[in-house]
Amino acid sequence: QVQLVESGGGLVQAGGSLRLSCAVSGRTFSSYVMGWFRQAPGKEREFVAAISRSGLTTYYADSVKVRFTISRENTKKTVYLQMNTLKSEDTAVYYCAASLSPTVRTGDYDYWGQGTQVTVSS
């Protein structure tokens, strides 16, 4: 029903930057709260950032608040994650997700992408 496709991952040096994109197919992208999650090898998936339907409200995990920025362009049906000052600890598969709930949240999302690998070398 709803497809989410992440892109923009890759290998980057510590201290560098990457911008992840998530293209969403579907009729009502603007009705979804969007989020980014990540999962490192052997670790549980963790919340990274979320953005309200309008894009006016954002929420971040404490570990990325200063360094990462989530944004969206509803006309392009795309959500972004700008990642700056990357650390080796940021290495993970990053997933975008969509929620039907009107409330920005850190879990309970309805649709998920396949993920994109981000590797930060030291």
Residue pLDDT, tens place only, 47-83: 999 999 999 999 999 999 999 999 999 999 999 999 9
Residue pLDDT, tens place only, 81-96: 999 999 999 999 999 9
Q: Where are the beta strands (DSSP E) in the chain?
A: 3-7, 10-13, 18-25, 33-39, 46-51, 58-60, 68-73, 78-83, 92-99, 111-112, 116-121
Residue pLDDT, tens place only, 14-51: 999 999 999 999 878 888 999 999 999 999 999 999 99
